[in-house]
A and B are shown apart, each in its own frame.
Chain A
Amino acid sequence: MDDIIQKLKEINLKGRGGANFPVGLKWELVKNAPGTKKYIICNGAEGEPGVLKDGYILEHYPEYVIGGIKCALDLFYNSEAYIYLNKNYFYRFADKLRKLIAKLPINVVKEKGGYLAGEETTLLESLEGDRLEPRLRPPYPTEQGLWSFPTLINNVETFYAVYLISQNKYEYKRFFTIRGEVKKRGNFELNENLTIKEVLKETANLPVKKFFVQVGGEASGEFLTMEEIDQPLKGTAAITVYDLEKTDKLKLLRQIAKFFLKEHCGKCLTCREGVYRLNEILNKRKPDLNKALVISEVLKETSFCGLGSGCGQAAYSLITKFLNAEI
């Protein structure tokens, strides 16, 4: 049974939720963690705007996802699994998934809470019925996760890839969501090492006019200039293309800030106050962008979880690259 971990390590599969954590290592940590019971969570919260690949996989390859979860169920003694779906996916896919699950110990559950509930430790709080906030790490979920038992949390696409690897059918591909000012929007399964530019090219989406992109989602994703797209995608595989001339960048910044104001939890000082103050500044007719930049920077630097730093990253890259502000 251990050979699945071996295979995952050989292929060097990285988690597809965005953090790129080595999957083989994570599975090994859970396997070796002491605990009378173990939990497996398939994260299908996919709350990041502009990322739709998990939904695409659940629609087209649900049996593969369940196959991947089954690999983990077989590997961990006395384990039970949850498929955690956002509300939309739950209504669309829960029935189909439950049919496929049949008698396997897999529960399909509907997400409680918004964007932040996709963050893995907040997801645990959500399943335990507590306040929706991230937990302190360590202890990591692999040691003490759901109900304090060792817990494996992987993204939908990761389980999909695990299944392919277990069947020796893995072709080093991943899913890319492409949106924005392009001809062919949608989800594409392509070679995982492609650069951003290559992805756009291969999907016949490379714009003729001047453009810029946001990669990793339309909220927390980093903004890149045309000159910066000769690099592979680091986090979640999503590319949104914007027209450089037509796009109202300040409006875009305001939208992003407003999104985080709605979704942040208030746990840590930086994100609670920073996101609020960022909005306060941006809501003025002529916002002080230098001040907004100082806040974006501290959000990036000292937020408790990825939500705050994501807001900081998006705002910081947008302001410095396209709104001409300096600290």
Chain B
Amino acid sequence: MAKVKIKINDQEFEVEEEKTILEVSRELNLDIPSLCSHPDLEVRANCRICMVEIKGQKSLTPACQTMVKDGLEIITDSERIKKARKTNLEFIRANHQKSCDTCLWKEDCQLKKLFEEYNITLSPYEKIRPNKKKKYQFGPVILDASKCIECRNCVEVCQNQGISFLEVNDYGSQISIKPSDNSYRDCTYCGQCVSHCPANALVMDTSSLKRVEKMLAAKKLIIIVQIAPSVRATLNEEFKIPYGKMTPEHIAGALKQLGFKYVFDTSTGADFTTFEEAKELIERLNQHKNLPMLTSCCPAWVKYVEFYRPELIPLLTTVRSPHIIMGGYLKTYWLKKQKINSKNIKVISIMPCLAKKYEIERPELRLKNGLKPVDEVLTVRELAILLKKKNIDLKEVAKAPLDALASGAGIIYGASGGVMESALRTAYYLMTQKEPPMVQFEAVRGIEGFKKARYQINQFNLKVAVVSGLNQAEKLIQDFKAKPNLYDYIEVMACPGGCIGGGGLPLPTNKEVRQKRASVLYQLDEKAKIRCSHNNPVLKEAYQDYFMDKKTTESVFHTHFQKKKKEGYKINKK
């Protein structure tokens, strides 16, 4: 890219052309405060915080919107700018009159940081603007209008997902962001709005955090925790640990310190998912029935199909998602083996995802003994809150072993393409009785929204596609509806880049961060002793000892889906 010379606060810099002032200042580590600007999204310049002075221009200019060009002279922190920013921040404070002390999200809060920097304690105004007192809840997502700065990041991500559940309502001082009343629109609980909200107006429901704390305090219970693949590539961010330096054993150590008796790996569950899914794929290919087979381990994608595309339900694989299988395994076979009373056992999942909180409540997932496979889901952000509350620093924690082995195939589930790659490794083995050539299936890696590949395995010329982002999924649906034989197997993840872009993960999220997270998982796979799900001894033992007949396997490893009516939202007036 061509370079241009600019001046920022009288200092000369050579920067890349075709970037905005805000982008280049961030690269130069010059702090221009901003709220609504997000690298995943379009520039909308709504928050008016990143205002700067440009020599020769009369009024202040938003840095997010202005491209650098040769000779540009920029001032970023004059008295004039500070005064304007402060007045704008006071406007925000005026609608958000609660105390920061009790807020769970204060550490992540960009607003709090700016309020402190600009010395804003109380609102200089009397009332809250109209429509600011409502609190909406839809599934695990909460929208607190009093904190909302109407920047519309959420509206854009929701629209980019092809959902458009969050809408701009009314005009002027009456304006508000609210969930849609349109009966054809419903939330899929992907949580992308939460990870793109600069004001913590959109947050996750943290009631499970309280319940887990209570469980941990109860002496009688045996509490088992399982960690999703992506946790090992993301929890480090909350403790400023470089990527790759925090191992699953560190996490297990911290969790045991919190009081969890056993720490399992959802990747082990993923090995079961892979094995079952590979079998199902081969069966469908042989019968040439219900193709393309669609993955179903992403609960937001499942909700999308059930609400928006119920006609595709027969195409979804019936295999349960990894943490549900893991929970089922623990509460049936493992519990029996350990001779533990089913009343005393609780399973908690640490997940990158908000929709997983919704998934565990599905009644069709209940086990024969009446138990829910998973009792509570905590997101990575919630776990970080809990650890920090108990003063457990991951940097200093002693390692502890995990209580079951997982394969590399189970670990890469956290990145877009991982489910596909895992399933193909095992499908190859099941079809040829030979171990798969690893490199062959790497074509589906990468954080791009859409990837496709072809594989020749025995008589099958397998056509596969991998998408992340629900809008990408919808495009793909239209493609294969027009041409039914286009694909045999499709992996869909609702979040950009797969689970490592999930709505429950630490902030900020952007392409670069997602790339780094994904590469951690692929490195762990490279280093893993076992790379394929079918070679995991945990699996072999379980199938030999317990999951021998179809009935047992079906009840713990498989599920069904149904067309969904709009679940909508609830309002809590404050």
Interface residues of A (CB under 8 A from B): 131-132, 136, 261-270, 272-277, 280, 291, 294-295, 297-298, 300-304, 309
Contact = CB atoms under 8 A, between A and B. Distances in A.
Contacts of A265: 171-172, 175
B160 interface: no
A301 B59 CA distance: 5
Contact of B46 (A263, A269, A280): A269
B211 interface: no
B59 A268 contact: no
Interface in B47-93: 47-49, 51, 59-60, 65, 80, 83-84, 87-88, 91-92
Contacts, number: 91
A266 B48 contact: no
B242 to A, nearest CB: 36
Contacts of B44: 136
A301 B92 CA distance: 17
B59 A272 contact: no
Contacts of B127: 280
29 contacts: A136-B65, A264-B171, A265-B171, A266-B150, A266-B170, A266-B171, A266-B175, A267-B46, A268-B47, A269-B48, A269-B151, A270-B88, A272-B150, A272-B175, A273-B91, A273-B95, A276-B172, A277-B94, A277-B125, A294-B87, A295-B87, A297-B87, A298-B83, A301-B51, A301-B59, A302-B48, A302-B60, A304-B45, A304-B46
Contacts of B92: 269, 273
B438 interface: no
A280 B126 contact: yes
Interface residues of B, number: 35
A262 B172 CA distance: 7
A301 B150 contact: no
Nearest to B59: A301
Q: Interface majority SS on A: helix, strand, loop or mixed?
A: helix
Contacts of B87: 274, 294-295, 297-298
Contacts of B124: 291
A263 B172 CA distance: 7
Nearest to B49: A269
Nearest to A327: B83
B91 A274 contact: yes
A301 B84 contact: yes
Nearest to A295: B87
B78 to A, nearest CB: 12
A294 B86 CA distance: 11
Contact of A269 (B47, B126, B174): B47
Given A265-B172, A298-B87, A309-B59, 19 more contacts: A136-B44, A263-B172, A266-B172, A266-B173, A266-B175, A269-B46, A269-B47, A274-B91, A276-B129, A280-B125, A280-B126, A297-B83, A298-B88, A301-B51, A301-B60, A302-B51, A302-B88, A304-B45, A304-B48
Nearest to A137: B65
Q: Which 10 A-B pairs have the closest CB atoms?
A: A266-B175, A273-B91, A276-B173, A298-B87, A302-B48, A264-B172, A270-B48, A266-B172, A269-B48, A301-B84
Nearest to B35: A269
Contacts of A266: 150, 170-175
B355 to A, nearest CB: 29
Q: In this complex, which of B43, B47, B91 has the most chain A Cβ atoms within 10 angstroms of its Cβ?
A: B91
B45 A261 contact: no
Interface string B153-191: 000000000000000101111110000000000000000
B173 A272 contact: yes
Contacts of A263: 172
Contacts of B59: 300-302, 309
